Amino acid sequence: MTEGPTRPPYERPSLLRHRAGTMNKMGGVPALRPQSHIDGVPVEELVAAYGSPLFVYSERCLVDKFHALNDALSARWPRVQLAWSYKTCYLDAVCRVYHREGAFAEAVSGMEVAKARRNGVANRRIVFNGPAKTRADLRDAFLTGVTVNLDHFEELSMAEAVARELGRVPEVGIRVNMQAGTLPRWDRFGFNLDSGQAWDAVRRLLAGGQLALTGLHCHLGTFILDPEVYKEGASKLAAFANRLREDLGIGIRSIDLGGGFASTARLKGQVLPSEQVTPTLAQFAEAITEGLSGLRCDPADLPTLTLETGRALVDEAGTLVSTVIANKRLSDGRRAVIIDAGVNVLFTSYWYRHDITPTSAPRGTAEATVLFGPLCMNIDVVRDHIMLPPLAPGSRVLVHPVGAYNVTQSMQFIELRPAVVMISRDGRHGLIRRAETLDDLVAGETVPEWIGGE
Ligand SMILES: Cc1ncc(COP(=O)(O)O)c(C=O)c1O
């Protein structure tokens, strides 16, 4: 018997209220173009090898973005150093790609410093920021030559005490914050420049005679869409460095503008597509170096420009492969789709509208859909409103861009964390973190003997 043509799966018809506002003046619903491969590798091959959900990192994208930024800065400033922001994604393989290409490590905890060392980063190539360094952290940093940027007065006093104990005068930087056009104000970290607090900190440091100031650090905020913020920030830092040189005789050797560039992800509430909204890395580089051009010093003494860009380098390199579990109709008529990856591994869903791309052409009419993750929790919403055609259970979707902050902030909440793979520039792929098991989850647990433990 010959088989007839396969029929599309049945979907119960439903009446839908027309909702004004679905269309907007920026255009209708973008056409869904299925994507069956990542960097030339079939998604099905990846799922067969490593399971679903699955984070996939593109080495090609990591390398291309790194060099795009490094080249844009180096074309405009004589001494440039990128330091990979560990917390943005500290999977060893990702960090090692950046280190191989020339990045220092930027760490914000003793754990991150240790992780950078495990990755073979020399101490003098580690920048140590963060508001909660311990006495032991500072001692270790001063003994080994890790670059420390001080965050607050208590830390300054602690650093002096440690330096005194060690009988050394370590070189340090101070972190400053300022008003440069970001809202809300990003003034929780470092010493405030506008109020004079940063100046007081420098005088305090000089009076102590126990530390040598050689660097200025500032992280202006995150997901900054306006390069002018960097121009203003850099020009305020340049003015501060001029004053330090001219009034106090301090030569600043490194100006570090932190991270904060927007990635090409789309924020909730953002109407226009990212291609029209997100500045290029070259635009940020241009703004920063224009701001720094206010530095008054001999060209030979121009400080190294350090950047700790995280999100804008790694976000696009990460894709999450997920599998459709079920379709549902909610009581208000909206379609709901449940996939096997939720906010437990997609922390950025709280503020991004990730692209959701099926890997094969779906059939049927797109309609307003809520995309839920697998957690038995109401908060587990990956997209609260997306126009999608029906997605067959078992079919795959790609969630993109997810390379920044999701893996480091993912948690074992209800579900274990999935595997992470990297695709090489020549199309090979390999695990960079295996999927977790129950043994991983309970590895640190003990049951006291009064509850029946041994
Ligand atoms: C000190 C510091 N540097 C760099 C970064 C990386 O920032 P982003 O990922 O926004 O580029 C952060 C992130 O918060 C940070 O706190």
Ligand 1 proximity of 173 Cβ (cutoff 6 Å): no
CA atoms within 13 A of residue 421's CA, in its CB half-sphere: 24
Task: Return d(Cα 70, Cα 49) in angstroms, integer.
Answer: 35
Ligand 1 proximity of 70 Cβ (cutoff 6 Å): no
Is the domain of 166 the same as that of 279? Answer: yes
Ligand 1 proximity of 222 Cβ (cutoff 6 Å): yes
Task: Residue 177: give the domain boundaries.
Answer: 59-315
Say if residues 123 and 171 touch (Cβ distance below 8 Å): no
User: What are the pLDDT tens digits along the chain (454 aa)?
Assistant: 455 567 777 777 766 655 544 455 555 555 678 999 999 999 999 999 999 999 999 999 999 999 999 999 999 999 999 999 999 999 999 999 999 999 999 999 999 999 999 999 999 999 999 999 999 999 999 999 999 999 999 999 999 999 999 999 999 999 999 999 888 888 899 999 999 999 999 999 999 999 999 999 999 999 999 999 999 999 999 999 999 999 999 999 999 999 999 999 999 989 899 999 999 999 999 999 999 999 999 999 999 999 999 999 999 999 999 999 999 999 998 999 999 999 999 999 999 999 999 999 988 889 999 999 999 999 999 999 999 999 999 999 999 999 999 999 999 999 999 999 999 999 999 999 999 999 999 999 999 999 999 8
The answer as to whether 389 is a domain residue is yes
Ligand 1 proximity of 311 Cβ (cutoff 6 Å): yes
pLDDT at 243: 98
**How many structural domains comprise the chain?**
2
Measured in angstroms, how far is the CA atom of residue 454 from the centroid of ligand 1?
44
pLDDT at 21: 42
The CATH number covering residue 364 comes to 2.40.37.10
Task: Return d(Cα 349, Cα 415) in angstroms, integer.
Answer: 17
pLDDT at 1: 46
| Phi and psi torsions of 241, nearest 5° | -65, -40
Buried b (16+ CB within 10 A) or exposed e, 129-149: bbeebeeebbbbbbeeebbbb
pLDDT at 31: 65
Is the domain of 103 the same as that of 237? Answer: yes
Is the domain of 113 the same as that of 168? Answer: yes
Q: 260, 376, 385: which is closest to 335 by C-alpha?
A: 385
Measured in angstroms, how far is the CA atom of residue 62 from the centroid of ligand 1?
17
Is the domain of 414 the same as that of 424? Answer: yes
pTM higher than 0.85: yes
The CATH number covering residue 144 comes to 3.20.20.10
Is the domain of 64 the same as that of 110? Answer: yes
Is the domain of 352 the same as that of 423? Answer: yes
Ligand 1 proximity of 177 Cβ (cutoff 6 Å): no
Is the domain of 271 the same as that of 398? Answer: no
Task: Return d(Cα 308, Cα 99) in angstroms, integer.
Answer: 13
Measured in angstroms, how far is the CA atom of residue 51 from the centroid of ligand 1?
31
